[in-house]
């Protein structure tokens, strides 16, 4: 369901054009890489790469970086509709596959993390094929993290 000019339109997400302005943040220490998943650091107020192995980053995910940015520079973060993500080295996505936050910083995986103490975060569903170690598009639909015992 997409709202266009006040009218609801049903359709296939791969065929929709969604005008997403994104939100602008400041890149944190080390900068930000395009298509990487980011979280907002509550103390510094900047965005950094999220990681399933660091619980403080997985529960404050805000979206994916539209472009790379150096530390202190502005970066636009998309968090609605179809977004571009970067697959880790072990993941090859096909349309419809679940997208998980990876244990590789900023990247996503086809497999839920299983290491004790890691966060399992479903970020959405693949829209196009892509990876490994490459970009693809996905429908952004993040879920509440679950921590592996």
Question: Going by C-beta distance under 8 Å and a sequence separation of 6 or more, which residues neighbour residue 141?
Answer: 122, 123, 124, 125
Q: In angstroms, rounded to a whole number, what is the distance separating the alpha carbons of residues 38 and 103? A: 13
* pLDDT score recorded for residue 18: 46
* 121: helix, strand or coil: coil
Span 96-145, pLDDT tens digits? 999 999 999 999 999 999 999 899 999 999 999 998 999 999 999 888 88
pLDDT digits (tens, 9 = 90+) for 7-59: 433 444 444 444 456 899 999 999 999 999 999 998 888 999 999 998 888 87
pLDDT of residue 59: 79
**What's the whole-model pTM score?**
0.84
């Amino acid at each position: 369901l997409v709202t266009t000019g006040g009218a609801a339109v049903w359709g296939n997400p791969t065929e929709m054009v969604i005008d997403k302005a994104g939100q602008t943040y400041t890149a944190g220490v080390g900068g930000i890489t395009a298509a990487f998943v980011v979280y907002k650091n509550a103390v510094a107020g900047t965005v950094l790469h999220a990681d399933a192995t660091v619980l403080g980053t997985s529960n404050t995910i805000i979206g994916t970086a539209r472009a790379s940015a150096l530390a202190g520079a502005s970066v636009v973060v998309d968090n609605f509709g179809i977004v571009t993500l970067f697959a880790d080295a072990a993941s090859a996505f096909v349309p419809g596959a679940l997208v998980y936050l990876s244990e590789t910083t900023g990247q996503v995986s086809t497999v839920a993390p299983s290491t004790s103490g890691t966060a399992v975060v479903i970020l959405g569903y693949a829209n196009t094929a892509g990876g490994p170690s490459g970009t693809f598009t996905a429908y952004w639909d993040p879920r509440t993290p679950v921590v592996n015992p």
